[in-house]
Amino acid sequence: MHRSMPPLQRDRLYPVYRRRLHDLVFYVVPALMWIALSLRHMSVTLPTAANPKMEVGGLWGERKSQDLRLFGERAARRLAPYVAFRAEGSADDLPTALARLGEAGLGFPIVVKPDRGYQGWGVRKVEGPDELAAYLANVLPGTGLILQRFVAHDGEAAVFYIREPGASHGRIASMVLTYAPHVVGDGSSTLEALVDADPVLAGNRAVYRERHRARWRTVVPANEVVTLTVARSARLGAVYRDAAHLVTPELERTIEEIARDIPEFHFGRFDLRFSSLEALRHGEGLSILELNGAGAEMLHIWDGRTRLRDAYRILWRQYRTLFAIAAENRRRGHRPAGIGTMLALQRRQEHLRRAYPTST
């Protein structure tokens, strides 16, 4: 597991505040930051102008497939192949999806994820037609999906890119290595007990139990690593490590080339897979899984060594930069989305999310 990344120090997988504070409590201060900046700039939805070509700037509820279609020819070469598909709740869904996959030259396994989604909701690795049929049967009619090639590299990074409007070059403002949620056996505890012993993981026990039914109450041998989900997100218990020290001029050039091939992209995060740390440093062999816009976080706030006040300092700088970029784009003639649009997208996304299959 994670052969392409450095071994983790087991004592600080998550920051202390991740274990002790509910998300609603943690985000009170960032919410106040957002309100303060909204008052300063006279718009609560101003960040939707940060990336003018992305639906609502990629802030919330946007279609991921629409973002990926913005990739130009050079950028698309580094994008994990995918097809966008709309499930209609009919018997034709499976044969249509299989035909689309065949046309794109995609075989199993694939990763299926909602077109409108966040934090790993509904993301599943699908091994064959039967599993795909089961997934399609459990979403609401009209649900947009992305069917993407499963990238077997176990190295994963989240690279945050920023470029001010009019600037000739951007910069990598944050990079983390992303480890799948997992437990390590002690030779005496069951998988269930290992999950329940960790307050971060325990909240997702139902998700893990569904994927590991056969061994849920089986003792995990000492030092065996059990990957709990393929999907890697903070909600599911992913572990993040600040990797700013791995950023090289070669990697910056590669990310710059990709970002500049996406029209009017100024602020957001690339989630990508890589084959080795050496390849990552050289910006080679990268497979982009997803592009997140104005709503993305700099994920080194979730590094286990980050202190709470440092996390808030990072978020304050991030929000100030986001609002400043959006304000400049507003001056250039790009209008922010209205609050009505944002509320409609929120309702639509949450309506669909409640029916998404469990992540795996």
pLDDT tens sequence across 50-108: 999 999 999 999 999 999 999 999 999 999 999 999 999 999 999 999 999 999 999 99
One DSSP character per residue, 229-268 reads: -SS--GGGT-EEEE-GGG--HHHHHHHHHHHHTSTT--EE
pLDDT number for residue 226: 96
Tokens 């026990």 map to which residue? 205
Compute the distance between CA of residue 67 and CA of residue 47 in angstroms, rounded to an integer. Answer: 16
Strand partners, 87: 143
Compute the distance between CA of residue 261 and CA of residue 78 in angstroms, rounded to an integer. Answer: 11
Q: What is the location of CATH 3.30.470 in the chain?
A: 16-179+239-353
- CA 324 from chain center: how many Å? 24
286 near 246, Cβ under 8 Å?
Answer: no
- Topology adopted by domain 16-179+239-353: D-amino Acid Aminotransferase; Chain A, domain 1 (3.30.470)
97 near 85, Cβ under 8 Å?
Answer: yes
pLDDT number for residue 1: 63
- CA 265 from chain center: how many Å? 17
One DSSP character per residue, 294-324 reads: TT---GGGGBTT--HHHHHHHHHHHHHHHHH
Compute the distance between CA of residue 35 and CA of residue 105 in angstroms, rounded to an integer. Answer: 47
Distances (CA, A) of 205 to 19, 79, 196, 209, 215: 15, 32, 7, 6, 13
One DSSP character per residue, 158-198 reads: EEEEE--TT-S--EEEEEEEEEPPEEE--SSSBHHHHHHTS
212 near 226, Cβ under 8 Å?
Answer: yes
For residue 221, give the 3-state DSSP assignment: coil
Compute the distance between CA of residue 172 and CA of residue 170 in angstroms, rounded to an integer. Answer: 7
**Tens of each residue's pLDDT in the chain, 360 residues:** 677 899 998 778 999 999 999 999 999 999 999 999 999 999 999 999 999 999 999 999 999 999 999 999 999 999 999 999 999 999 999 999 999 999 999 999 999 999 999 999 999 999 999 999 999 999 999 999 999 999 999 999 999 999 999 999 999 999 999 999 999 999 999 999 999 999 999 999 999 999 999 999 999 999 999 999 999 999 999 999 999 999 999 999 999 999 999 999 999 999 999 999 999 999 999 999 999 999 999 999 999 999 999 999 999 999 999 999 999 999 999 999 999 999 999 999 999 999 999 998
Q: What is the mean pLDDT of the chain?
A: 96
pTM of the model: 0.96
Q: How many CB atoms lie within 10 A of CB 7?
A: 9
For residue 226, give the 3-state DSSP assignment: strand
111 near 156, Cβ under 8 Å?
Answer: no
Compute the distance between CA of residue 258 and CA of residue 77 in angstroms, rounded to an integer. Answer: 9
